[in-house]
Structure 1
């Protein structure tokens, strides 16, 4: 157990999908698509805290000395080798984002969980769904989700994971609210219908398919790389926002019959 915990502490950067702005964008998009029933239940749980604010909390809390947070890294990603599906490989003993989503969904729906426990669960659900839409949070098992794939991004030393979770988004020079407004204009009922699915294995399959196409041949990344991939980044942010809302609408509706 000590060895596992030590290894988890060595790999904290793997869990920071989308960075703060990326997660906030997905939470803000989701907020606009919640049912009135889900909105009311969420307000009962976290008060006036927005989903944009809630979305970054599981990363922020990893600085806590509490043992739970010190071993929470695996709850932010899955590992799926090339040409495999999640159901073929499953979760490791320490769990992963899929098992975390299942755990916190059950906690959110529990009739006996405290408000504080439900708040933790809600924040994790929002965060994990965002994580699973970042292609490198469905890692191939060889390079810590692109963290070990070193690149330079506009001459700044970096790695592929950081490029995808933060740098391509930050280089747009938009606040998360501006970015959300730009993306929200693209969302209509047809797109919502196309993207709505609450099956996390579908999200993971999409991420692994993208993941296997984004490793550059040249490790010096300039304008061509974001030109090729920012459309995919934006699509995944939109999909994550739509699916966070759909998932919460479903889970909080089902809560009444469980």
Structure 2
């Protein structure tokens, strides 16, 4: 019943982000899951294997909520769209809008994993969403502000090609180094100290949201001078290239590291002790 009410409340709402807003892209989400996988407790790993089965890894599950947005069903085309981000002015999260948001979805799916009456299919959906949403909340432009749709409306050039600031942070800055997700996850794992893990081990999503909100505004490039013209006389837009990469790659990598650590912490917290019943079969 709670699930149906949650879906009904979200259905029919207008999202503030356009549907292509996919946090981190495929590489980033897989990196987050791969980092988390190295820090799972034995109990959490056992429950995850029971839910996903032996053929699906955590990093494979990470992009499923984005991949399913190609499904023409109304749930994927309309209802679930606002569940990939939150919107706030400043850095303190207040409450979800009527259509729901990423934090409300995270809470909903966490309850599903803990529900002894939930079906295996529901738990699979819940786990895949949780893996994805923890990554989303660490992408600073998925903690959007009014009213540029998380940077989707901020037009920029990335090494001379037209794009927008949101797309830069979803994929382009992550993929600039041209590492596979396993290579990038291994690199970031080597550069995550025990002290980092201790400092970042935080299961409160509101803290992650506030961190992203603090980072977000600093990612916006200066606007060109008023009246400046770009290619073919069009209004000039910020040109992002090596200088932006140099300045913000450490920020991007730190958020991926933190998301991986927090995902492990969050899943370990859910499975801190055996649940009331055996895992679903």
Same fold, TM-score > 0.5, yes or no: yes
Residue aligning to 2:63: 56
Kindly indicate whether residue 167 of structure 2 is the aligned counterpart of residue 162 of structure 1: yes
Q: Distance in 2 between matches of 1:69 and 1:147?
A: 20
Q: What count of residue pairs does the alignment treat as equivalent?
A: 252
What are the equivalent positions in structure 2 for 1:78-89 lying under 5 Å apart?
A: 78-81=86-89, 83-87=90-94
After TM superposition, the runs of 4+ consecutive aligned structure 1 residues lying more than 4 A away are none
What are the equivalent positions in structure 2 for 1:201-240 lying under 5 Å apart?
A: 201-218=206-223, 219-240=238-259
Please tell me whether the aligned partners of residues 154 and 221 of structure 1 are also in contact (alpha carbons under 8 angstroms): yes
TM-score normalised by the chain length of structure 1:
0.93
Kindly indicate whether residue 116 of structure 2 is the aligned counterpart of residue 111 of structure 1: yes
Kindly indicate whether residue 37 of structure 2 is the aligned counterpart of residue 39 of structure 1: no
The DSSP-based 3-state class of the residue aligned with 1:165 is helix
Report which of the two structures shows the higher radius of gyration computed on alpha carbons. 2
Kindly indicate whether residue 106 of structure 2 is the aligned counterpart of residue 101 of structure 1: yes
Query: Could you tell me how far 1:8 is from its partner in structure 2?
Result: 3.8
Gaps of 5+ in 2: 1-7, 224-237
Residue aligning to 1:127: 132
TM-score normalised by the chain length of structure 2:
0.86
Gaps of 5+ in 1: none
Q: Distance in 1 between matches of 2:248 and 2:106?
A: 27
Q: Distance in 1 between matches of 2:17 and 2:58?
A: 29
Residue aligning to 1:241: 260
Residue aligning to 2:76: 69
Please tell me whether the aligned partners of residues 143 and 149 of structure 1 are also in contact (alpha carbons under 8 angstroms): yes
Residue aligning to 1:24: 30
Task: Give RMSD over aligned pairs.
Answer: 1.7
Residue aligning to 1:251: 270
Please tell me whether the aligned partners of residues 110 and 255 of structure 1 are also in contact (alpha carbons under 8 angstroms): no
Query: Which one of the candidate residues 152, 157, 160 is aligned to 1:152?
Result: 157
Please tell me whether the aligned partners of residues 133 and 207 of structure 1 are also in contact (alpha carbons under 8 angstroms): yes
Kindly indicate whether residue 200 of structure 2 is the aligned counterpart of residue 192 of structure 1: no
Structure with greater proportional helix content: 1
Cα 1:231/1:84, change in 2 over 3 Å = closer
